[in-house]
Amino acid sequence: MNLNEEVEILKGVPIFAKIEPAKLKLIAFTGERMTFNAGQELFHQGDQGDAMYVILAGVADVLIDNDKGGQIAVAEMKKNNFVGDMAILCDVPRTATIKARESLTTLRISKDMFYRLVAEVPQMAIEVMRELAHRLEDTNKKLREATANKAA
């Protein structure tokens, strides 16, 4: 895939949709393209966060460790989704494990580049906040449903 094709893909990612083409080229050029095989982890819960990943192709599972030593799948991420943002935004260890369900292509964006982009493109910060708010609402909905099922 060449730089122009990557720019076209990035235009489809909601957090990058309103960024001018020159900056998208910078993201595509400075981001590190990474491929993961099915079953391979992008990162593990508890790891230090140093980058976020934009999914360019494939599907990944979001897994949370449970108290029995296993993992629970809590979400799936597909093309145009991004992961790893919470750890770099909050300076906390990774809050989940991200594992490729199938062959996965990502663009790794370093923490420094992410902050630079947010500073230069305020609309990107708004889109990231919007996505985080949607994730929180989804989590709250699942918690309400789990609590209602437990009470029944």
pLDDT tens string, the chain, 152 residues long: the values are 677 888 888 888 888 888 888 888 888 888 899 999 999 999 999 999 899 999 989 999 999 998 888 898 988 999 988 898 888 888 888 989 999 999 999 999 999 988 888 888 787 888 888 888 888 888 888 888 888 887 76
Question: Which sequence spans correspond to the domains of the chain?
Answer: 3-151
Please tell me the class of the 3-151 domain.
mainly beta
Give the CA angle between residues 49, 55, 60 to the nearest 5°: 80
Closest CA to 46 of 104, 113, 99, 94: 94
- In this prediction the pTM is 0.82
